[in-house]
Each structure stands twice: as structure tokens, then as C-alpha cells.
Amino acid sequence: PFHKSKGQHILKNPLLIDSIIQKSGIKPTDVILEIGPGTGNLTKKLLEAGKSVVAVELDPRMVLELQRRFQGTPFSSRLKVIQGDVLKCDLPYFDICVANIPYQISSPLTFKLLSHRPLFRCAVIMFQREFAMRLVAQPGDTLYCRLSVNTQLLARVSHLLKVGRNNFRPPPKVDSSVVRIEPRKPLPPVNFKEWDGLVRICFNRKNKTLGSIFRQKTVLSLLEKNYKTLQALQLSHDGSLDDTEMALAVSALGNSLEDLSMDVDDGKDDEEMEVDDGNAKGSEFKEKVLNVLKQGDFEEKRSSKLTQTDFMFLLSLFNKAGIHFS
């Protein structure tokens, strides 16, 4: 009856559901968004704790089952079920999101939520354990990656609960964790497109020094192309985005973060660098780039150790030198 492809793993342990509810800090006045309610085990307790629940479910059979479960109960007037793909539908207003999601949509969903306006108070979500550990990873942790940096730019993230696979029917192949995501209000004043452009380059080889990353020909030619385009257009690139551009940019932060296969790092260090042919063409621009790194003392640093503040500082130095990432 359960579709593996839709990530259908039903929560069977009522104590675990209680603990998720308790840790999520739902208020009686809250409109709750649930994604993938399935048969409604979590939905029922959400309805007991909040004012109303909007549940988005892809599988029409589950939608029917859910409606049947609450039909004729006092809950039915406080539950709205939307049938569809959560990644494709417009989300309604909500105060808090609590969900046991299908793991294959983890990163696009996270950034879809974070681009939603008005910003919600918090999201309490079950993720695959490794994805959860990447979300909360700090500089220096092995799992620190583009996902950690981009999520933590927009939200405070904390690990709430480890959940073994046997709490689900059928049990998934991996363990899980519940994570709390609280959007930062206000959001930091950065251009998210530029931010992601920089962070992608830095984490492409996160254990190399920035000096060697920014000496790569592919990186230099990309940046030089941007540089020349902007100069030619004589754009006053002040980096500000309107609301629509902002929402697009935020959801794009999750782009091609193929859940868990992202940030492949060969673990090798600087040895096998692209050969620097030292030809004079373009070396002026290269000096410009390397000067930026020197200014901020970044040449010998590695992305795996850089904090949010470091990345912001680095981006501002590049921008001041007229170098842009989008």
C-alpha cells in the first residue's frame, strides 16, 4: 500500500510524535503547515495543539484516507487538505511548519519555505540524519558544506531529536533527525545570488586554500567574464534585489543541492592543482582577484573553516573591487 517513490514511511511511535509536538512549541493560536500528512498520525496531534492545520499531500489515496479519518469529528473544520506537490503549489499563510517529509525533497523544500513571505516563526522537520547534520554543521565540522552555509545565512538551525529507523513503517534504510529551523528576522543584507555564486566556488573544493581555488583558470575566466560584462554595460551594480528577485534568489540557494550527493569532495589537497600556465593574458585580472584575498588575509584559508561573517566580509571585499559572482 505504501509508495517508496513518494517516500511514504509512516510514523508509528506515539511517544515520538508527542515529543515532536512538545519540542515544536506550538501555540493554541497557530496556523500549522504540515507537508506529507500521510495517514494523519502527526496531523491528529497537530490539530489538538494548534488552531488549524493546512496539510499538503501528493498522494490522492492518502488525501482520501485523511479526510475519512477526521470526517464527522470536531477536527474536520480546522483541517484543510491540499492535494498536490508541495514544491509546485502556492503555500498559504502559516505560523509554524511541522512535518515528517519525503526525504527526496529535503533541500528544495527547505529553501522554498525560507523564501515564503511573510516569514513563519519556525519549522520543525524530520530529515534523513546526514542531511540534518549537514544543516547544523559548523565551520571545521566534516559535514560543513554549501547547504550549511546557505541555510544558516537565512535561519538559525538546531538539532532537536535523533530518530531511529524503527519508528517508521515500513522502516527506511537510514536513520533520521528532527531539526528546528528559525528564519532570521530581518534577513542579512546580502545579495543572495552573489552569495551563492561565491559559496559554490569556495565549496567546489572545500579543503583547498582560497588562494589555489581562485587561481583556477575556470574560476578566473568566469569572474573576468562577469567583470567585463558589467563594465561594458556600465551598470551601477548596487546589489539590491526587489521582493520577487529576492524570493527567486532564496529558493535558488537550494538549486542542485542534490540531497546528500552534493559537495563531492575528493579529500585530496592542493597537490593536483590545475597547472598555472603563467601567460600574461588575464594576469592583470588575476592580480586583482588575488589582491582581494590578500587584503582580507584569505589566501591561505580554507572554506571548510570559514564562518558566515568571513564569507560576508570576503564577498564585500570582492564587490568593492568590482568583482561579482552573478
Residues lying near ligand SAM in the complex (CB under 6 A) are found at: 6-11, 35-38, 41-42, 56-59, 62, 85-87, 100-102, 105
In angstroms, give the least distance from the CB of 3 to ligand SAM: 7
Which is it for strands 168-169 and 155-163: parallel, antiparallel or unpaired?
A: unpaired
In angstroms, give the least distance from the CB of 104 to ligand SAM: 8
Is 168 or 318 the residue whose CB approaches ligand SAM more closely?
168
Whose cell is 563594465? That residue is: 231
Which is it for strands 176-183 and 155-163: parallel, antiparallel or unpaired?
A: antiparallel
Residue closest to 99 by CA, chosen among 158, 3, 180, 13: 180
Is 102 or 183 the residue whose CB approaches ligand SAM more closely?
102
Is 44 or 180 the residue whose CB approaches ligand SAM more closely?
44
Is 65 or 141 the residue whose CB approaches ligand SAM more closely?
65
In angstroms, give the least distance from the CB of 219 to ligand SAM: 35
The amino acid that residue 239 corresponds to is G
Q: Which residue is nearest to ligand SAM (CB)?
A: 36
C-alpha span between 282 and 325 (Å, rounded): 18
C-alpha span between 287 and 293 (Å, rounded): 10
Q: What is the maximum span of the chain, computed from C-alpha positions, in angstroms?
A: 78
Q: Which residues of 94-126 are buried (b: 16+ CB within 10 A; e: fewer)?
A: bbbbbbbbbbebbbbbbbbbbbbeebbebbbbb
In angstroms, give the least distance from the CB of 100 to ligand SAM: 3
In angstroms, give the least distance from the CB of 305 to ligand SAM: 35
CB 115 within 8 A of CB 91: no
Is 44 or 205 the residue whose CB approaches ligand SAM more closely?
44
In angstroms, give the least distance from the CB of 59 to ligand SAM: 4
Is 5 or 244 the residue whose CB approaches ligand SAM more closely?
5
Name residues whose C-beta falls within 8 Å of residue 112's C-beta, 6 or more positions apart in sequence: 86, 87, 91, 251, 254
In angstroms, give the least distance from the CB of 158 to ligand SAM: 21
Helix 146-154, helix 308-320: angle, nearest 10: 90
Is 102 or 197 the residue whose CB approaches ligand SAM more closely?
102
